[in-house]
């Protein structure tokens, strides 16, 4: 059986951690896909968790229990994220957004996000809105 992957944006992970609307969509994908997150986006999640007093070890443990695997942000991903700047500039995407999309593009897998501005992107990445 072939493994199916899904890339998680920080917004999707935070929706899951905070039990926000859309978290049920993320859980559904976690049941059917192997979930991946760029280390750039993992860093974004850890910042938000630390801001509310959650130790990084707790966040990492929780993500591991949920089956979310972090993928190192490599030179190849840095190049892809940089190249996405031109195609996403009008949408105002951040570096973290482009890091997530670069991982999805590299792996040819869908990306889960709560960021509605991604829905109109035409960059060769399937974007799944969680809400």
Q: Domain residue spans in the chain?
A: 5-129
Residue-wise over 83-110: b if at least 16 C-beta within 10 A, else e? Answer: ebeeebeeeebeebbbbbbbbbbbeebb
Judged against a pLDDT cut of 70, whether residue 9 lies above it is answered with: yes
* Beta pairing partners, 127: 111
- Collapse the DSSP code of 69 into the 3-class scheme (helix H, G, I; strand E, B; otherwise coil) and give the result: strand
Integer Cα distance of 43 and 12 in angstroms: 14
pLDDT digits (tens, 9 = 90+) for 61-111: 999 999 999 999 999 999 999 999 999 988 999 999 999 999 999 999 999
User: What does the pLDDT read at residue 1?
Assistant: 45
User: What does the pLDDT read at residue 3?
Assistant: 75
Distances (CA, A) of 70 to 10, 20, 92: 12, 22, 25
Second CATH level (architecture) for the domain 5-129: 3-Layer(aba) Sandwich (3.40)
Burial class of residue 75, CB neighbours in 10 A (0-12, 13-18, 19+): exposed
User: What does the pLDDT read at residue 129?
Assistant: 98
Phi, psi for residue 111 in degrees, rounded to 5: -120, 130
Integer Cα distance of 112 and 68 in angstroms: 13
User: What does the pLDDT read at residue 37?
Assistant: 98
Judged against a pLDDT cut of 70, whether residue 2 lies above it is answered with: no
Q: What is the mean pLDDT of residues 13-24?
A: 96
Integer Cα distance of 121 and 25 in angstroms: 21
């Amino acid at each position: 059986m072939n493994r199916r992957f899904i890339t998680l944006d920080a917004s999707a992970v935070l929706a899951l951690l905070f039990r926000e609307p859309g978290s049920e969509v993320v859980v559904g994908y976690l049941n059917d896909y192997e979930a991946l997150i760029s280390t750039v986006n993992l860093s974004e999640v850890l910042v938000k968790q630390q801001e509310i007093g959650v130790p990084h070890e707790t966040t990492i443990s929780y993500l591991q229990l949920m089956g979310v695997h972090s993928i190192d942000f490599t030179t190849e991903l840095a190049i892809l994220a940089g190249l996405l700047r031109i195609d996403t500039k009008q949408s105002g995407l951040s570096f973290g957004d482009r890091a997530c999309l670069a991982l999805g593009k590299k792996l040819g897998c869908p990306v889960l996000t709560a960021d509605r501005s991604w829905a109109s992107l035409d960059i060769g990445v399937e974007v799944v809105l969680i809400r």
